Copies of this chain bind each other. A is one copy, B any other.
Amino acid sequence: MSHSTVDLSVGHSCPVPINNYKHVLLAHGGGGKLTQQLIQKMFAPQFENELLSPLHDGAVFSINGTRLALSTDSFVVNPIFFPGGTIGDLAVNGTVNDLAMCGAKPLYLSAAFIIEEGMTMEDLWRVVLSMKEATDRAGVVLVTGDTKVVDRKKGDKIFINTSGVGVMEQGVDINPANARPGDVVILSGPIALHGIAIMSVREGLEFETEICSDTAPLNGLVQDMLKASKDIHVLRDPTRGGIASALNEIAESAGVGILIREEHIPVPDEVRGACEILGLDPLYVANEGKLLAIVPRESAQEVLRAMQAHPMGKDAVVIGQVMVENPGIVLMKSRVGGTRVVDMLSGEQLPRIC
């Protein structure tokens, strides 16, 4: 009989590395400052290795000379059905996109379900059907899975983890740390749709035009971008915490400043209206079918044209640039001319958005 040798005492020799919070808060899962603190103090030092890049969307490694990417995400969105999508296609698109943001071609996915006792079979079936459609749309294959059931009130209908393996495109080196002064910041389209679609359902808001989640696979768009130029420094899908948090992570990883221009950032009118009602800043609201690309000035036009020629990037625009000044900081030039710091999200703006 083998016994585990794990020492469960966490006394004097190895104190808990976070002492300003005794308990985990919702904000620790919000994608902002507290999530970063949790990752950087509690997880990253323990699992430190050359492949673990805490602020990247996945890990890249070689097996027998083939460069592969591995990514994982758990989805806990509430509600599980919302305008434009379900937790099922969100889960497929989320991992497809994380792999694409590494510069990988997503190939194989796993799906693991944690179901709350009492979920209706009909709801589960709707989720499964939506996942099937999403895998077909993204051109990936779901190859393995797992199902667990937890007691009532120990879960919330369904949580889905997807993990995925992709093969890296040749000659590609995409990483948040690669942003360089002079680079151009491109955004693939209008922001904040996913978060506002979810919040509208939760808050019972109705608009003239229904606001739909933008959940979609971005691997096709990324492939076209890489065909236009391999010289892309950073790709990022601005999900939890919105484009503000994504840009802050990039600025911090690369030790550069980023300046964006408010007037260039596309925010649909109905989204802006909903944000005003809900007291939200669209820069911090989650997207599930958009990407940020940071590319050298020389290749920016080619990449932008390739994006605009693809259905997922037809509204792509340049929103800013990377600077040598103010390393680690994101600044925004407002419509009226002033410049303000766009900080990392500090609290929890939108719990359980993905």
Contact = CB atoms under 8 A, between A and B. Distances in A.
A177 interface: no
Nearest to A61: B108
Interface string A276-320: 000000000000010000000000000000000001100100000
B17 A125 contact: yes
A108 B156 contact: no
B29 A110 contact: no
Majority secondary structure of chain A interface residues (helix, strand, loop or mixed): mixed
A14 interface: yes
A89 B5 CA distance: 10
A216 B4 contact: yes
Interface residues of A, number: 118
Contacts of A182: none
Interface in A106-132: 107-108, 110-122, 124-126, 128-132
Given A66-B63, A118-B23, A1 B214 contact: yes
Interface of A: 1-8, 10, 14, 16-19, 21-30, 35, 38-39, 42-43, 46-47, 49, 51-52, 56, 58-59, 61, 63-66, 68, 70-76, 78, 81, 84-86, 89, 107-108, 110-122, 124-126, 128-135, 137, 141-151, 153-156, 159, 161, 163, 165, 167, 189-190, 193, 212-216, 268, 289, 311-312, 315, 351-352
